[in-house]
Structure formats: structure tokens, C-alpha cells
Amino acid sequence: MAQGGGRNLFAKVSWAERPVGTANGSLEAAGPKQDEPVAEPPKKTVFGGPLVTFLVLAAPALWIGILVFLYGVDTPWGDQWDGTWPLLEKMQAGTLGLGDFFAFHNEHRIVFPRLIAVGLAKLTHWNVRAEMLIIWVLACICSLNLWRLLLVTGWRNSRDREWLFLAANVMLFIPLQWENFLWGFQIGFLLPLACLTACLWIGPSLRHPWNFLLTIGLCVVTTFSVASGFSCWLLTAPLLLIPQRTVAKRFGRIWWSAWLLIGAASVYLYFRGYARPAAHPSSAEALKHPFRAMQFVLAYLGTPFSSGTALDASMVASIAGAALLIPFFACLLYLFRWRQDRVFLKRSLPWALLAFSALINAFLTMIGRLGFGIAAAIQSRYISFAIMLPIGLLFLGALVLEHWRERTSLGAIRIVGGKGVVAFVTALSVLLVCGTIKSLEYWGRFQHSRLAGKAHLLLINIVDEPDGLARHVHQGDPALKARVNFLDRMGYLRPPLLRSNRIREIAFSPGPETMGELNDLGKSAEGEFAATGWAILPEKNRTADAVLLTYDDAQGEPIIFALADVGHARSDITRQLNDKAYLRSGWNKTWKAGQIPESSQLIRAWAFDAEDLQAFQIGAFSLDSPQASP
């Protein structure tokens, strides 16, 4: 980096290479001079050549990308019907305005996630898989920001750099946060994280005033993306206090005044007109139950390590959260003790703030969700924020250990300390691996629920299944049918809605492979019928998305009258077909006699593929003589 007249925005020398006692504490005064040769970075890394290193470090991101591609389903779900659909309706009517983007969604002003979602919907006819791609890209941006932060904080020539970054990527792209990767609405969680991690390296490394300008923009985006986004201003401010070169006090005061003014205005605009959502518990719960509030925060922070054992998940999460906070606060105390060591402070501070961001999110979530119980703290979607604590602690702890070992001459203490760190990291790693293995089944379950939701949407004009719509599409929405038909008219549903109740329009031959059975059909004394069986889609190696039931009309035409969810455990089928993918292939359905004409005597069951809009007959029963029809 040229002294004084250089135009490069980025620092070229890591803090670790700068002497502590530079003039005025300026980072610009340190580093190699222009006429000094700059050491070339080693071409070989701990993993081998550059290409091999890239593939190893990128493996966690590539794995998640493959999982998203395999398990993602193009079906709106949950909050997408409240947060995105109204904007699409207004866009179609020509009444969409800026105020619609600024409106609250629960306790969030998701302005920028809405802008992205609506833009994608316009470009892709609301292909939800495009939103999943953006979420994955945002996670990759977080990873790149962590890599840049590694360089900025002095890990340029360290052999530990690749190992630390690989561990961070494993945690960042952990499959435990399946809900965030498979639900397009979670742009509102990954976007602020991408902005925050960018602020952590932009603040201390870019030249003045670019560090102020860019962090202002990123903090504004974060503020209007998630309820806890305003904390980005608090986390970025300490990093802007680290000057890269001497700046005139007058200009410094001007930029700080602008930064503080815009920050205060953003927070004010965010909370202006805020009202607690009616369905949410009171924020005073934390004052009434301080012990539960503490347990909630600990469980939130320990969620990434809680789901891989046979023990109660909330208890394991609370213990893991406490186990993480103890070394984190110990590192903070050590950092405070050596605060006069400017190089050590500047290298450690961004990682400490990254870890602290998880604690802030845990506290703010506790304020709004404590009334729902401790179970609300261990949701998959919160892992994106909670995982920042172990990631930040990973690098902060490495810096503290390095600094401590250089100043500790007692070999026994160093050995004991090293063994303690190894035991701690090993225990958390085992919990993380166990949770990751177990979480893979949730990817399949979430996919099946979304496909079941697609089945309910496609037949929303044919059968009346409000319970299924509430489970798999959106709960308590009386206008859902009108909304679905509106999207269908816009061409935003793929495939389009089924308009006829005659199943022959979507019926296909099941082929030589067994696709299911109608095992039993009976009638109760109250006049209700009940059918049970199992259904699979062997070509796609998954359970059927739903089972359609038909009766034969007077002309012998099968007419759809009911839809059954597939999802009951059938261990006998897994043994019979020797495939664990079909464990939850069982189904059952009850209906009243009045749902079908009295003259109808033959009931058929069909395995339904919602992606390709195909139905395959798996069995039939005669109501006169309950025996399987040939």
C-alpha cells in the first residue's frame, strides 16, 4: 500500500504485521515501505494447490447447494401468503406503492427482502426456487465476507487460516438450518447477515470516507430487513473508530455526525407506528419470568448443537449455550485486560462483535417470543443467527490462545489449557455432526410437506380439505382459495390448477413397479367410511405427494372426491421394498356417506405426483363387498 497518495480502498497489510507503537496509533503509519519487497504468499496451502484448496473450502456450500436443488419445491408456504402475495396482487392491479414495502410484517419491516422477492416474482412468475437460490447466494456472500475478514484481521500467511475457514464454512452451511434454505421467505434472515459480515471488514479496512458510506448503506439495508437489524449500527460503530490513516478532526466529526444522524433516523422510521402483533405474547414475560428468559437465550444460542441426541433438545441447547458463553466472556475479559495492545485489539474486535451479534439476536427474540415457550427458541430458522457465536468464538479464541501462549512460560498451564480447548471443541463437534446427520431427514419431511401443499393447491377447486391446507399451505386464511385462483390466472402456479374432477385427465399407467395399495376399507356404525393403505413414487424414490380417492359415477367414470395425506410410518413397507425412503408411505382417510352418490359402489385410490400432475391407480374396493377389486 502506497504511503499517503495511494488510491486503493483496501488495506494491503494485515494488522498482525504492523508494530504496536506506531505514531498516533495510526494503522497507515505501519507496514512495508514502497521500496521494500513484499513477500509472496506461499503457492502451496495445507490442502495442496489453489484449485484443491478452493474445492475443499467450498465443499460445505456446494453440498448445501445440491441439497437445495434436490429438496426445493416451487410452492409458496406460510408467511409468503401474507408477506409476498398481497404485493403481487397490488402489482397486478397497478396500485403497488412504496408504503406497501414499508408495512410491518409481524414485528419486521422487511422492505429490502420484499423488494427482492417481488422483483424475482416478476422475473420468474414467482418461482419460489429462485428465492432459495438467492438465499444460497447470500450465504455464500457471508462466507466470502468471512474470508475477507480473515485477511483483514491478520491471517494472511497463517497455516491455520484454511482450517479455521473450513470449520467456519461447515458451521455457516450447516444442514440444521434446513428451514432457511428451503423457505424462500427467509431472504429476510440471510440478507442482514450478509450485510453485517460485510460491515465487519469494511469498517476497519476501507479508506475514509468509503468505510462510512458503505457501512451506512449496509446498516440501512439490515435495519429494514429484520427486527433485530438496527443492532448492525451498534456493532459497526466500534470498528469505525479504528482509523486507517489520520483524518482531519473536522472531517471526522462531519462523517460521524452524518453516520449517527442517518442511523438514528433509520431506527426511528423503523419503529414509527409499530404495534405488537395481536397473536404475539406480551414483551413483559421476560420481567415476570427472568429464569425462563435466561434459559430461552441459552437455548437459542445452543440450538445448533441440540438435536443430535436422545436427550431433551431444549435442555441440551441450554447447556450448549452456556458452554459457549463461558469461553466467550472469558475471551472478552482477556481482550479487556490487553486492550492497550492495539494490534491484538484490532485483530480480535471484529470476531468478538460477530459473536456478540448472536447474543443480541437471542435477547431480542426472547423479548418477542418468550411467551411461546422454550421450544420457540430452538427453531431451525434461528440457527443462521445463533451459529455466529461459535463462528466468531472460533477465530476470537484462536487469537486469544495465540496471544496467551506468547506471554505464558508455564508449560504445565499451557498443556492443561490446550487439552481443555481440545475437549471443548471435540464435544461440540460431535454434537454438531450428530445433529447434522439427524437433520437430513427433516429436509425430506419438509420437501414432502411442501409437495403435499402443492397437491392441496392443485385440487383446491375440486375437493374441500381445509385441514390439509392449514397444515401444508397456510393456516387460518379464509381467502386462500381466491388467492390461489388469482395466482393461477397470472400463470404463477406450475403446473396449473386442476379444473376437472374426472381423474382420467391426469391418470397414467403405474407400470410394472408397485406404487402402493388400498389395504382396507370399512364402514362404521355412524355411517362413516375409512380407508387405509400406502403409496409411493418409485421413479422419484419418495412417498407419494398425496392419495386421491375416487368413486365411479353412473357411466363408470372415476370422480375425485377426497384427498388423503401420506405420512404414516409403515415399517413393513420399508422391509418389503428394502428402502428406508418409503418409511412414511402410509395413509388413511375417513369420509361421510353423503360425500359420494348412493349409487356409487366402487372406490379407487390413486398415488398422486403433484410436480408432474399425474395419478396412478393403486387399488380399488367395492362398497357392496369390501374385497379388493382386480
Domain ranges for the chain, please list them: 291-407, 440-467+489-495+502-630
Distance CA 429, CA 424 (A): 9
Cα 1 to chain center, whole Å? 39
Task: Return the pLDDT at 542.
Answer: 94
Q: Is the pLDDT of residue 18 over 80?
A: no
Distance CA 546, CA 567 (A): 9
Counting DSSP H helices and E strands in the chain, the numbers are 22, 10
Task: Look up residue 323 and give its amino acid.
Answer: A
**Which of the residue ranges 157-166, 203-212, 217-226, 470-479 would you say has the lowest mean pLDDT?**
157-166
Three-state DSSP state, 157: coil
Task: Return the pLDDT at 158.
Answer: 65
Contact predicate 569/584, CB 8 Å: yes
| Per-residue DSSP letter, 105 | B
Distance CA 124, CA 118 (A): 10
**Which of the residue ranges 79-88, 133-142, 239-248, 605-614 would you say has the lowest mean pLDDT?**
239-248
| Per-residue DSSP letter, 628 | B
Mark residue 25 as left, alpha or beta (left: phi above 0; alpha: psi -120 to 50; beta: remaining).
Answer: left
Residue bearing cell 432457511: 180
Q: What is the DSSP string of 440-508?
A: HHHHHHHHHHHHHHHHHHHTTTT---HHHHHHHT-TT-TTHHHHHHHHHHHT-SSSPPP--SBGGGTEE
Distance CA 613, CA 608 (A): 7
Mean pLDDT, the chain, rounded, equals 87
DSSP H or E stretch at residue 293: helix 290-302
Task: Return the pLDDT at 37.
Answer: 43
DSSP H or E stretch at residue 590: strand 586-592
**Which of the residue ranges 104-108, 243-247, 295-299, 446-450 would you say has the lowest mean pLDDT?**
243-247
Query: What's the pLDDT band for 245 if we cut at 50, 70, 90?
Result: low
* Architecture per CATH, 440-467+489-495+502-630: Sandwich (2.60)
Cα 162 to chain center, whole Å? 25
Task: Return the pLDDT at 11.
Answer: 43
Grid cell for residue 477: 386464511
Contact predicate 585/516, CB 8 Å: yes
Secondary structure of 376-396 in the HEC alphabet?
HHHCHHHHHHHCHHHHHHHHH
Higher-pLDDT residue of 603, 476 = 603
Task: Return the pLDDT at 600.
Answer: 83
Q: Is the pLDDT of residue 74 over 90?
A: yes
Main-chain dihedrals φ then ψ at residue 459, nearest 5 degrees? -110, 20
Mean pLDDT value of segment 403-427: 73
pLDDT tens by residue, 592-626: 888 888 888 899 999 999 999 999 999 998 877 54
Cα angle vertex 283, ends 277, 287, to 5°? 170
Task: Look up residue 566 and give its amino acid.
Answer: V
Q: Is the pLDDT of residue 157 over 80?
A: no
Task: Return the pLDDT at 541.
Answer: 93
Residue bearing cell 418389503: 576
Residues with Cβ within 8 Å of residue 333, at least 6 apart in sequence: none
Query: What's the pLDDT band for 396 if we cut at 50, 70, 90?
Result: very high
Distance CA 370, CA 443 (A): 27
| Per-residue DSSP letter, 244 | S
Contact predicate 105/83, CB 8 Å: yes
Q: How many residues does the chain have?
A: 630
Nearest in space to 544 (alpha carbons), one of 439, 455, 441: 455
Other beta carbons within 10 angstroms of residue 452's beta carbon come to 26
Nearest in space to 209 (alpha carbons), one of 489, 9, 502, 2: 9
**Which of the residue ranges 161-165, 207-211, 338-342, 626-630 would you say has the lowest mean pLDDT?**
626-630
Distance CA 227, CA 225 (A): 7
β pairing state of 528-537 and 542-543: antiparallel
Task: Look up residue 322 and give its amino acid.
Answer: A
Residue bearing cell 437430513: 440
Task: Return the pLDDT at 414.
Answer: 55
Kindly provide the residue ranges of all beta strands, DSSP E only, lying in 179-251, ordered along the sequence: none
Main-chain dihedrals φ then ψ at residue 368, nearest 5 degrees? -95, -15
pTM of the model: 0.89
β pairing state of 516-523 and 528-537: antiparallel
Q: Is the pLDDT of residue 573 over 50?
A: yes
Report the DSSP beta bridge partners of residue 602.
622
Task: Return the pLDDT at 549.
Answer: 96
Task: Look up residue 597 and give its amino acid.
Answer: P
Distance CA 251, CA 344 (A): 28
Distance CA 459, CA 227 (A): 37
End-to-end distance of the chain based on CA atoms, in angstroms? 82
Dihedral of alpha carbons 587, 590, 595, 597, sign:
positive
DSSP H or E stretch at residue 589: strand 586-592
Nearest in space to 122 (alpha carbons), one of 496, 493, 492, 495: 492
Mark residue 619 as left, alpha or beta (left: phi above 0; alpha: psi -120 to 50; beta: remaining).
Answer: left
β pairing state of 614-622 and 507-508: parallel
Task: Return the pLDDT at 27.
Answer: 38
CA dihedral 459, 462, 465, 466 (to 10 degrees): 90
Nearest in space to 136 (alpha carbons), one of 83, 93, 194: 194
Grid cell for residue 534: 400406502
Contact predicate 512/522, CB 8 Å: no
